[in-house]
Structure 1
Amino acid sequence: MSEQVLDNAQQLAPGEARCPNEPSTQDIIAKDRVTAPDWVRSESYRFLGDEDIPKGRYIDPEYAKKEYEKLWTRTWQFACREEHIPEVGDYYVYDLGRRSFIVTRVAENEVKAYYNSCLHRGTKLRPSGTEGCASEFTCPFHGWTWNLDGSLQKATCHWDFPHVEAEKFNLPEARVELLAGFVFINMDHDALPLEEYFGPEFMSHINSWGLENRYIHCHVAKRIPANWKLNMEAFMEAYHVIETHPQVAVSNADANSQYDFYGDHVDRFISPLGVISPHLRGQYTEQDILDQFTVGDSSVLAGADRKLAEGETARQRMADMLRDMFEKGTKADLSGVSDSELLDCFSYTIFPNTFMFPGISLPMVYRFRPDPEDHRKSFYEVFFMRPVPKDGERPEPAECVWLEDHQSFTEAEGMDPGFGNILDQDTENLLAQQQGLEATAKDGLTLGNYQEIRVRHFEQTIDKYMAD
């Protein structure tokens, strides 16, 4: 860092510094041919302090136990998509730590989530990781049976249980709310309704995306050797791109990225693509930026005209190519979709454990869950979502591909190899980070005021739940 840059940064109020002499995300988007909607062009940041984040929350098993009691039991979590349970009787088992839930459609417009445990002697009614269709839920141990609506249908040898009152033996439920095709559950019956939990700003965003009109075409999961919070925080900033993903830095404006947060439970970044990293300014031409660009079905892009006209930018040509590619691939009309939505990376953290990427080029959902056997490990899932074809029926959601610990994301069926390599790069850092935090003499993590604000915002929300 030059002395001049350091002096300039120190003259600004905390949190005001931005990448010197570079356009902002909004400056970049403002030059696009197809104008971005309001939710893209909004900003919502403020300085949240610069104290270190204590390392104990990542390495202390007692802290992990308290998280289960104070955080996971009181927050809204994405359990499944409605497409997993489209018909009455369809169910999907969602596990969180040692807790397990049967999420099932009990009527056309009603979904319930039952604690996955027999009220006789506690046996799981449905195995973890399963889904299917049922007209009733029968315990495989002694045959006690519950109707789809959760009422007790049969207690085997009921004559031996005169003390069991059927009306008091309904399956206990978690709360359920549906939003944009997602099924959310919450164990706390006194928690805020989902819309209040998210807040009006985010609700205006998600209602603009049409995620209910997408389907899961690839679902990949893997156990990662790091605490669930480290796993999540690896994806909360673009600060790591230049070192971790040098192959994409040529067309990723990493240090120009925009960071926002909305209330306690939602934050985001917008990372512009088709624009060179400020770290590489002057080393590549606009033609170089376009030449190295690939996404999704590279064979389609390979057939596109990649010769830029005089004065044409790589970003605009990328947006045009993506519009053409996705219109052909999805048979959907994208003429009204902005260049930014087609091209840029939009990442929203949905507290506590979900990321939504509503853009067209990176239409994904991430979900992170702690490993109940080891607080230093966690589960990472990637759901790739595509628009439902306008001229056809909704495809069945892809089954989950569970990778072994040693496997690369590139080995998963349906995974784009280039993106699989990026996920490998992201997760390969995490074992070293987990081990480093256990080895360090330093008491905590030091964060940037702007580029790592999502990490601070996330941890401050955790503090609020852990303190109550």
Structure 2
Amino acid sequence: MQTTRPGEWVDQDGTGLDDIAPDRYRMQIPTERYVSPEFVARERDSIWMKTWQVVGRVDDLPKVADWKQYRLFDQSYIVVRGKDDKIRGFVNACRHRGNVLCPEAGGNAKRGFLCQYHLWSYDLQGNLKGMLREALAGPIDKSTHGLIEVPVDTFGGFIFLNPDPNAVPLSEFIGDEVATMLAPYHLDEMVTVMDVTEAIDCNWKVVMDAFQEGYHIDGIHPQLLQVINIDPKTSRYRFFDQHCVSMAPFDVVGASPEAQVDGIMALPETFPSTVAVLPRFTELVEQYRNADGTLTFPEGIKARNLLQQATRDTLTGMGLDVSGLTDAQMSDNHGWVLFPNFFMTIRAGEATIVMSMPDPDGDPNRCIWHVASYMWLPDEHKAAFIAEPIVVDEPGSFKYFEALQQDYVQMPRQQIGLRNTSLEHMALVKEEVVIAHFHSVIDKHLAASGAN
């Protein structure tokens, strides 16, 4: 007998909109926090310099001595895989005169790190190993002049870094419940099939807000109405101290069988990985086709159920263990927010993340957004799907898949409106409760640092 699966939270203890008291979160969000340089400074100190944040995938550092740079405002860090296979993080500065050790985006330091200024050298564990004319250097204790280490750990195949040397462990920050709920997806075994980074003309929170609600689907993504039921009463939420997850079913209530099938057949335009499932889905649909070509689904059967079966059959046929996922997780995307800047939609076999970083120069009207997609594939198929990172230098030159492209165009428009000085706050509706929760976490961090 199948034991309780983590995904059953949706039906067992998921929170609906009717369960959320009107005063649980504040629903008026000051626009000042999107456009004020002073607010950027407060966020920098109270949030960014004190929280765990994703700096890449474990797969970014496949070999010993592989490293990559992570920049946060004017701060620079190195993450590197050591000879013991452990990934560590260091401040990207020589302990002698502060020269940047690694100005490039990444590389391999098979001989360790060498400062080009005065040729001080460090091993992969950050220890100071050599100095130019060491015998004449004076009383320098090499054991106390290694690179400055910063907390680094991994979860779900992602590398996390925290600039705060006194940070709580990543496992505590993620939380046992979140880890348990995500485990059956095998996120750590997925490979990157899209990886795009680009500067965009909006505040980093405009990006986060945009992906935390489905209220805009009718206006921005009308094509999704074919497959997503946006009845707010069917959405379910789980709120944690800093993170949250929400779910809206992939279902269109009241649509004819033909319309249901047409909507699912159009999914690859927005969710490209569904291509692999459609052959099996088509087989399952055909058993309900009449002699005249029309479709009749018996009571209790919808295209949604067939998509779920097709997904489970396809993934199981690839040798992937999806037994820990519910039938609903075969079709329904769960939207995860890991504070401060990690949004992920995930369902059986695939995930897409959107992350936004503050502008390196502190401009509140700009940010860096990073979009990546991942697929869970058999080992023999992974190499054919892995995508190299793309950094977009010319705005608008990269075309995202349909829904992302629509968001890409919309977000700068919102930033233009937020800059109007007469607009003092945004007024959230109840369907945007995840945004309200997100800003409540921002408030907690500001209060903890005395930066209200």
Alignment TM-score, normalising by the size of structure 1: 0.81
Contact 1:112 1:175 (C-alpha < 8 Å) held by counterparts: yes
Instruction: Give, in angstroms, the shift of residue 109 of structure 1.
Output: 4.8
2: CA distance between counterparts of 1:216 and 1:453? 31
Does structure 1 residue 43 correspond to structure 2 residue 31?
no
Q: Does 1:424 align with 2:405?
A: yes
Structure 1 residues 351 and 117, CA, compared in 2 at 3 Å: closer, same or farther?
A: same
**Aligned partner (choices 300, 303, 310) of residue 297 of structure 2:** 310
Whichever residue aligns with residue 116 of structure 2, its letter is P
Distance 1:155 1:35 in 2: 56
Of the three residues 424, 428, 438, the one matched with 1:458 is 438
Quote the offset at 1:174 in angstroms: 0.8
Task: Note closer, same or farther for the CA distance 1:461–1:37 as it changes in structure 2 (3 Å cut).
Answer: closer
CA RMSD of aligned residues (A): 2.7
Q: Distance in 1 between matches of 2:440 and 2:113?
A: 41
Distance 1:404 1:346, change over 3 A: same
In structure 2, how many angstroms separate the alpha carbons of the residues matched to 1:215 and 1:391? 12
Letter in 1 for 2:367: S
2:121 aligned partner: 145
Q: Match for 2:378 among 389, 397, 400?
A: 389
* Closer/same/farther in 2, CA of residues 35 and 65 from structure 1, 3 Å limit: closer
Q: Which amino acid aligns with 1:286?
A: P
Deviation at 1:335, TM superposition (A): 6.3
Alpha-carbon contact 1:409-1:424 (below 8 Å) kept: no
Structure-2 separation of matches of 1:101 and 1:464: 26
Q: Helix, strand or coil for the counterpart of 1:398? A: coil
Aligned with 2:356: secondary structure?
strand
CA distance in 2: counterparts of 1:101 and 1:219, whole angstroms: 21
**Percent identity (aligned):** 26
Alpha-carbon distance in 2 for matches of 1:405, 1:240 = 27
Match of 1:433 among 414, 430, 440: 414
User: Hey, what does 1:339 align to over in structure 2?
Assistant: 327
The residue matched to 1:248 in structure 2 has which SS? helix
What is the CA distance between 1:401 and its match in structure 2? 0.9
Return the alpha-carbon distance in structure 1 between the equivalents of residues 152 and 69 of structure 2.
Answer: 14
CA contact (8 A) 2:115 2:121 kept: yes
1:361 deviation in Å? 5.8
Match runs of 1:268-417 below 5 Å: 268-273=245-250, 275-276=251-252, 284-293=255-264, 294-295=267-268, 296=272, 303=279, 304-305=282-283, 306=285, 307=289, 308-311=295-298, 312-326=301-315, 330-332=318-320, 334=322, 337-360=325-348, 362-373=350-361, 374-389=363-378, 398-407=387-396, 409-410=398-399
How many residue pairs align between the two structures?
A: 419
- 2:212 pairs with 1:231: no
- State the shift of 1:79 in Å: 1.6
Q: 1:205 to 1:46 in 2, by over 3 A?
A: same
Q: 1:121 aligns with which of 97, 100, 110?
A: 97
Shift of 1:81: 1.9
Deviation at 1:366, TM superposition (A): 2.3
The CA distance in 1 between the partners of 2:382 and 2:352, in whole Å, is 21
- One-letter code of the match for 1:406? P
1:245 and 1:393 mapped to 2: Cα distance?
31
Structure-2 separation of matches of 1:333 and 1:208: 9
Aligned to 1:30: none
Q: 1 CA distance for matches of 2:29 and 2:202?
A: 16
Q: Taking structure 1 as reference, are residues 115 and 55 closer, same or farther at Cα in structure 2, changes over 3 Å only?
A: same
Change in Cα spacing, 1:152 to 1:399, as seen in structure 2 (3 Å) is same
- Could you tell me whether the CA contact under 8 Å between 1:85 and 1:105 is conserved in 2? yes
Alpha-carbon spacing, 1:161–1:336, altered in 2? closer, same or farther (3 Å):
closer
Name the TM-score, length of structure 2 as normaliser.
Answer: 0.84
- 1:26-175 → structure 2 map (5 Å cutoff): 37-41=7-11, 42-44=13-15, 46-47=20-21, 48-159=24-135, 161-175=137-151
CA contact (8 A) 1:261 1:457 kept: no
Contact 2:244 2:434 in 1 (8 A): yes
- Name the aligned partner's letter for residue 262 of structure 2: D
CA distance in 1, matches of 2:296, 2:109: 56
Residues 386 and 51 (structure 1 numbering): CA distance in 2 closer, same or farther, change over 3 Å? closer
Residues in 2 aligned to 1:263 and 1:85: alpha-carbon distance in whole angstroms = 31
Structure 2 unmatched runs, 5+: 290-294
